[in-house]
Amino acid sequence: MLKKVFATLLIILIISGIGFYYYLSKTYPTTSPALTGMYYLESITRPHAKLDKHVLGFLPYWRLDDIQHIRPNLLSEINYFSLTVGNDGKLAKVVNGETDPGWRAWESEKVENLMTRARIMGTDVTFTVAALDNQLIIDVLDSDTAQDNLIADIVAEVKDKDLQGINIDFEYFGEPDAYYQEAFTAFSQKLRTAIDKEAPTTALSLSIMPLSARENDLFDFPKLVPIYDRFIGMSYEYYGAGSDISGPVAPMKGFKEGKYFFDVETTYEDYLQVIPKAKLIMGVPYYGWERSVQDAKTANSLTYPADDEKNYAAVISYARSRESTDIKKNQCTWDELAQETWCWFKDQKTGSDRQAWIADNRSVETRFAYAQSQNLGGVALWTLGYDKQYLDLWELILKKFTDQ
């Protein structure tokens, strides 16, 4: 009797296993059933956190080496950065005879597997469409054909890969002619209409620069707010590789005090004049910059032009700042206005005095707390992978954006 029961159960398990294997093969055809099964197991052992804010993580195509450290269960959305707009408006696949690196990575097995893992764990998968050159933006906005090409390609990617959202990143530097502000609004409305028709559950977001709400740039916010579901504030890179002084990548304060040319709090004060809180997502950097300076022991020292091997400028990620033997606690200071840490040291290879402004636990927690205190819609992490295997920043997400 027991043998018959055991045999029956075994047959049921085998049939169920075959059925589950078939389901995985059909539902996630680009990922092996073995991997997909592992992701299902992970979704059980690491259930998706109940986040009280939208937590978006940007994944640039050049950061795929650390993809295994990503915790999709602690993210609302993983945004792939980026697919580039070509001169004809189509998403660029080949540039100067070579496959565009963003497109190559987008079609890679690594990204396909991460998308599967994210979906199984309940995390949205989205992508950024980037136009980061003034002339390219003008050419696209001048051409109905280019806009139609771009919208068609965006819709095709959303439907082909079953994506949950699109982020538009058109970074125009300077003041465009008023016509182009109107043209961008018209393009945005055409995109919204097409998305609502072809993939109506797809979210649409727009990346905006720190001065976008203050200066007369490409964005007419009163007209754009009804079109876009979210606005992602790129509240970082206030100081960087080309700055005359070594400064914080995202100073929280200091503009009104005359110390920094602009700051994060003023950025969001400006944004909130034209964007509802619930639609506003705060960019949070997981990196800083390291520069050669004239006086390493003085904060905000003048920098040397980053034009040779001795005076190079370098991104210093959260992980690298923890692992670097140059970064010593007794040579680091917390800047109260910027709410960032800066450190000084001497480059052992070049002999140059160096200063680094870094993202650490304290600076990241300060920015998470600000987003909560202002009741913003959430945060956007730039970027996933910068923290590598360290769990601290994931634990901060749990601390600040869940009840755990």
With bands split at pLDDT 50, 70 and 90, how would you rate the model's confidence at 23? low
Helix axes 361-373 and 392-401, enclosed angle (nearest 10): 20
Q: For residues 350 and 325, what is the distance between their CA atoms, to the nearest angstrom?
A: 16
Has residue 388 got a pLDDT over 90? yes
378-382 and 280-285 strand pairing: parallel
pLDDT at site 31? 84
Average pLDDT over residues 253-257: 99
- Residue whose pair of structure tokens reads 């004239």 in the numeric block: 294
- Kindly state the helix (H) or strand (E) to which residue 77 belongs, with its residue range: strand 77-84
pLDDT at site 28? 77
**HSE-up of 140 (CA within 13 Å, CB side)?**
31
- What is the number of residues in the chain? 404
Residues above pLDDT 90, as percent of the chain = 90
Has residue 72 got a pLDDT over 70? yes
Q: In degrees rounded to 5, what are phi and psi of residue 114? A: -65, -40
pLDDT digits 0-9 by tens, 196-243:
999 999 999 999 999 999 998 999 999 999 999 999 999 999 999 999
Residues above pLDDT 70, as percent of the chain = 93
Q: For residues 176 and 106, what is the distance between their CA atoms, to the nearest angstrom?
A: 31
353-358 and 287-292 strand pairing: antiparallel
Q: What mean pLDDT, rounded, does the chain reach?
A: 95
Q: For residues 46 and 60, what is the distance between their CA atoms, to the nearest angstrom?
A: 24
Has residue 370 got a pLDDT over 70? yes
Q: Exposed, middle or buried by CB within 10 Å (0-12, 13-18, 19+), for 248?
A: buried
Q: For residues 10 and 168, what is the distance between their CA atoms, to the nearest angstrom?
A: 52
Q: For residues 75 and 173, what is the distance between their CA atoms, to the nearest angstrom?
A: 31
Q: For residues 87 and 142, what is the distance between their CA atoms, to the nearest angstrom?
A: 11
- Residue whose pair of structure tokens reads 């769990």 in the numeric block: 391
> What distances in angstroms separate CA 119 from CA 82, 111, 115, 329, 383, one per listed residue?
19, 12, 6, 40, 20
Q: Exposed, middle or buried by CB within 10 Å (0-12, 13-18, 19+), for 15?
A: exposed
pLDDT digits 0-9 by tens, 266-322:
999 999 999 999 999 999 999 999 999 999 999 999 999 999 889 999 999 999 999
3-state secondary structure of 175: coil
pLDDT at site 363? 99
Average pLDDT over residues 99-111: 98
What does pTM read for this prediction? 0.95
